[in-house]
Structure 1
Amino acid sequence: MANSSDHTTRVADSLLQIEIELRRIDAWESEPPSPEALQSAQPFAVDTLEFTQWLQFVFVSRMKALIEGGHPLPQVSGMAPMAEEHFRGREESGAGLISELEEMDRLLSGQP
């Protein structure tokens, strides 16, 4: 049981680092997108949200709810490649955020 608790703590810490990076690159928003935009059925809500909005309003909020509720965490994650695509050609490299997402991908996928 301690192992599961340790894993959840590491995921929660990683989630906090993702939030810090979103704030650092000025991508953290105070107002949520419309409820309709949040209902997208597309992966990462690519048809209605910017990737950073999806991270904040979908991924971070759902992961916090899972952790706080003691629910099982996802066992697969592939956000870093999506982040690399999002930041390609932009002024802000997003390297810090991509690094944090690589860590979250690793943690959720159960890689050492």
Structure 2
Amino acid sequence: MSDVVSALLDQLETELKQQQLWSDSSPDALAMASSLPFCCDTLRLEQWLQFVFLPKLRFLLQTRRPLPAKVSVLPYAQEVFKTQYSRLGPLLSLIARIDRALTGEP
């Protein structure tokens, strides 16, 4: 499973870059310290994916620690990107695949 998740994370990074949602500068420490899910009060979703989600999952993979089994990023992503669905459909599809891979759903 770790190979599948690793490949999906690489695809997520590529898709964020292709959609021009990748940032060259990281958020400040205060923004990263949010205690709300997805740092929704301080980060845009694409920032959270880039600076929290991807690094955390890659760290878990590299250190061979258990991956989270309860992941549900897709509903939030669908809400955030609802007005851009036609352009960001591939990104949402990829997020759905990551959710399914982590939760073990087919």
TM-score range, shorter chain: over 0.9
1:70-89 superposed matches below 5 A: 70-89=64-83
1:19 corresponds to: 13
Structure with higher Rg: it is: 1
Q: 2:13 & 2:100 partners in 1: Cα distance? A: 17
Q: 2:22 & 2:86 partners in 1: Cα distance? A: 14
Aligned length: 106
Mind listing any 5+ residue stretches in structure 1 that lack a counterpart? 1-6
Measured on the aligned residues, the alpha-carbon RMSD in Å equals 1.3
Deviation (angstroms), 1:92: 6.6
Deviation (angstroms), 1:36: 0.7
Scaled by the length of structure 1, what TM-score is found? Answer: 0.90
Mind listing any 5+ residue stretches in structure 2 that lack a counterpart? none
2:25 corresponds to: 31
1:3 corresponds to: none
Scaled by the length of structure 2, what TM-score is found? Answer: 0.95
> Relative to structure 1, is the Cα distance of residues 69 and 46 closer, same or farther in structure 2, using a 3 angstrom cutoff?
same
1:1-112 superposed matches below 5 A: 7-90=1-84, 93-112=87-106
8 Å contact from structure 1 (residues 74, 108) kept in 2: yes
Q: 1:89 & 1:109 partners in 2: Cα distance? A: 27
Q: 1:81 & 1:91 partners in 2: Cα distance? A: 13
